[in-house]
């Protein structure tokens, strides 16, 4: 009997925090032309000759710091999400894949096809669409030749916004915060200038969540971008600069919200909890707390299950028109 399939796709993680495995992962990730759009003839010699040798050992140190006995937090939580959604959608086939590293999108799509999945939904685990996260996933899915419906974003779903708002409220009431900073993963301005909708979707995410927040005064909310890479201009304002500026203004206690990251990863554990925390403290800040990501929470897994059912019904309806 045929069934529906759902493939959850996350960014990926090295196999281990060893220098060798981190280098392999970074090479695949930074060779993706949807991530780094520079011409290959220019970028590849730079990547192999300078960036990988300089970046790998530092990244491996970060990965070792965040690694758990069960493995990379991103992988652990993605597996947990897959199991929880499978328990909710018991008559579906729920799988997960990684855009970089493994398990690969290709092998999981083929497995689902072999399993007899009649209709497959692919859900990239990024609330906001951008070329750098989504386009390679879409290309890999299409390259299999197996028909699938792709959910390109979910930032505007009321239930998602309500879950995030409840998390923010729950964290905010614990202390007297001077600022609540919504920090999204940045992308190069060159992508925005070519029409990428990411910035508008991020601003709309903050605005949508604020409709449901009960405890946070809107004047305390900032929207910023983090994780800048390379010398070219990226989306502003940058989180690091904002932290220094608000500390100088006397705002000593901040709460960070990271909607781009539905699960703990290098950016939340190492970049924010260590590097950006140190920046804020050295600038005169005192309290630097973060709202935990969804991390396969029951509410988020229920939302994913309901979103998949709703989207599949909509796709079927459009196909029948």
Residues in the chain: 321
Flag whether 306 is marked binding.
no
Distance of CA 296 to the CA centre of its chain: 13
- Tokens matching residue 306: 């309901």
The DSSP code sequence of 216-275 is: S-GGGEEEEEE---SSS-BSSSBHHHHHHHHHHTT--EEEEE-TT-SS--HIIIIIIIII
Which residues are within 8 A (CB) of 245 and not within 5 positions of it... i.e. 6 or more apart? none
Which residues are within 8 A (CB) of 206 and not within 5 positions of it... i.e. 6 or more apart? 182, 221, 223, 259
- Please give the span between the terminal C-alpha atoms of the chain, in angstroms, as a whole number: 26
312's enclosing H/E stretch is: helix 298-320
* Nearest-angstrom CA–CA distance, 284 and 244: 8
**β pairing state of 287-290 and 221-226:** unpaired
Flag whether 134 is marked binding.
no
Name the phi and psi angles at 141, rounded to 5.
Answer: -65, -45
Handedness of CA 278, 282, 287, 290 (dihedral sign): negative
> Which residues fall in the annotated binding site?
185, 267
> Which residues fall in the annotated binding site for Fe(2+)?
185, 267
């Amino acid at each position: 009997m045929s069934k529906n399939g759902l493939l959850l796709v996350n960014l990926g993680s090295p196999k281990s925090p060893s220098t060798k495995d981190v280098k392999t992962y970074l090479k695949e990730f930074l060779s993706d032309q949807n991530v780094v759009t520079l011409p290959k003839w220019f970028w590849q010699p730079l990547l192999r000759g300078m960036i990988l040798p300089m970046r790998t050992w530092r990244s491996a140190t970060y990965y070792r710091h965040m690694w758990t006995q069960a493995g990379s937090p991103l992988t652990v939580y993605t597996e947990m999400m897959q199991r929880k959604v499978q328990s909710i959608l018991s008559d579906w086939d729920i799988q997960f894949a990684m855009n970089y590293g493994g398990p690969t999108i290709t092998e999981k799509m083929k497995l689902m096809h072999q399993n007899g999945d009649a209709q497959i939904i692919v859900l990239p685990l990024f609330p906001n669409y951008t070329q750098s996260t989504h386009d390679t996933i879409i290309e890999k899915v299409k390259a299999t030749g197996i028909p699938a419906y792709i959910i390109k974003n979910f930032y505007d779903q009321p239930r998602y916004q309500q879950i995030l708002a409840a998390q923010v409220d729950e964290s905010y009431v614990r202390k007297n915060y001077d600022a609540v900073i919504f920090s999204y993963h940045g992308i190069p301005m060159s992508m925005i200038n070519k029409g990428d909708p990411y910035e508008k979707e991020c601003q709309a995410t903050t605005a949508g969540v604020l409709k449901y927040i009960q405890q946070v005064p809107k004047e305390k909310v900032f929207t910023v971008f983090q994780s800048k890479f390379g010398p070219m201009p990226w989306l502003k304002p940058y989180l690091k600069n904002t932290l220094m500026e608000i500390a100088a203004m006397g705002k000593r206690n901040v709460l960070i919200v990271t909607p781009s990251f539905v699960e703990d990863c290098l950016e939340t554990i190492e970049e924010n909890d260590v590097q950006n925390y140190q920046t804020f403290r050295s600038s005169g800040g005192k309290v630097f707390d973060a709202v935990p990501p969804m991390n396969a929470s029951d509410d988020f897994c229920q939302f994913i299950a309901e979103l998949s059912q709703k989207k599949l019904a909509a796709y079927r309806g459009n196909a029948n028109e």
